[in-house]
């Protein structure tokens, strides 16, 4: 039951935001963005969401004042910003060739 909760509350929103952020970033940078790139963005955002939730759980394990929505917001921000950073880094790397 806890696994389904984690998938629905944490991973699904991160994967949707990762796909949207990747698509918008690719459109702004005028890059090709297809099914393969979308799948990579979804997996990248989902993995980073799970990792950030583990790290935040360790950091705030003894705190009773941190709200669930604050942790969710931080995790979504980390995963979405990482997808955008990945696109920017790949663009800068290919421009330097």
Residue 4 lies in a domain: no
Residue 5 located in a structural domain: no
In a domain, 2, yes or no: no
Q: Are 49 and 79 in contact (CB under 8 A)?
A: yes
pLDDT tens, residue by residue, 36-75:
999 999 999 999 998 998 888 888 887 777 777 778 888 9
Residue 56: which domain range?
10-95
3 lies in some domain: no
pTM of the predicted model, to two decimals? 0.85
Domain tally, the chain:
1
């Amino acid at each position: 039951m806890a696994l389904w909760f984690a998938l629905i509350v944490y991973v699904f929103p991160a994967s949707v935001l990762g796909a949207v952020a990747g698509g918008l970033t690719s459109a702004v940078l005028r890059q090709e963005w297809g099914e393969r790139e979308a799948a990579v963005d979804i997996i990248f955002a989902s993995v980073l969401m799970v990792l950030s939730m583990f790290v935040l759980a360790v950091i705030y394990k003894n705190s009773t004042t941190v709200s669930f929505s604050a942790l969710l917001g931080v995790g979504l921000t980390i995963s979405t910003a990482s997808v955008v950073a990945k696109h920017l880094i790949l663009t800068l790397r290919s421009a330097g060739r």
